[in-house]
Chains A and B, each alone.
Chain A
Amino acid sequence: MAKNKISFKLKNKLSELDTLCQKLEGFGESIGLSPKFVFETNLALDELFTNIISYGYSDKKVHHISVTISLQDSQLLFSIEDDGMPFNPTEVDEPDLGCTIEECKIGGLGIHLAKNLMDEVCYQRCKDKNILTLRKHIQDPRPAKKRMKG
């Protein structure tokens, strides 16, 4: 039976994006997620993770960001926990999407993508940690069990 929960830690460096991708693809495959779902999930987590490591730390030390992904009923739940500076991405202003190319600014775009690709993004600050909780409904559930029968 496929394991329906994984937890792992990422260091605060950009090369860990590859680890994030590998972990997600492996988990997605084990529980039968569609490539589109894995892509969208990867992008949302990438943007939030990149944001944390780009702006969350003022020192040069190695920090660990904890990620947990679990399948519950027909949705995936994600938790991202870091010990960086307090930052609530849900309060970031939405970019102006109706702008022309000259006016277009890139700030806030990553968080805009993450919010759009997830059904829910919640933030809490707890014991000197930022905790993001995300939820995404699986539209096309293909449980691994069923696939194995065929």
Chain B
Amino acid sequence: MEIIEENHGGINIFKLNGRLDSNTSQGFEKKIFQAIDDGSKSMIVDFKDLDYISSAGLRVILKATKALKREDGKMLLCDMQDYVKEVFEIAGFDSFLPIVGTMDDALQGF
């Protein structure tokens, strides 16, 4: 899986490309927690090019969201493919994670 990190006016953007499973989730966890340790409080995870997510990926998203909340920060998730969104729905995560339509919607959420 490829992770592209960008900074847009103080917002950390993580663009995920490929498959987020138990084989790749550790790399993502390291990057996202590095940003939190560095003081980032606003984050967007762009799911546009993510083809696959398993519970290992959901775990990282949940852990990072909780960590950011403790720091009064916020993370938005955007541009999910239908299959990927379905996984969040079956897990019940769509009820408490902020999932928005497009990157523009996400940027406006800050």
User: Are A100 and B90 CB-contacts (below 8 A) given A47-B55, A50-B54?
Assistant: no
Of the listed stretches B5-13, B16-24, B100-108, chain A binds B16-24
Closest to A13 in B: B23
Instruction: Verify B55–A110 contact, CB threshold 8 A.
Output: yes
Give the size range of B's interface with the partner: 20 to 34
Instruction: Verify B59–A50 contact, CB threshold 8 A.
Output: no
Q: What is the interface of chain B mostly: helix, strand, loop, or mixed?
A: helix
Instruction: Verify B96–A17 contact, CB threshold 8 A.
Output: no
A-B contact count (CB 8 A): 68
Of the listed stretches A111-119, A120-128, A131-139, chain B binds A111-119
Q: Check if A148 is an interface residue, CB within 8 A of chain B.
A: no
Instruction: Verify A14–B22 contact, CB threshold 8 A.
Output: yes
Among B19, B23, B69, B95, residue most surrounded by chain A Cβ atoms (within 10 Å): B23
Can you list the 3 inter-chain pairs with the closest CB atoms, starting with the nearest? A97-B92, A110-B55, A101-B96
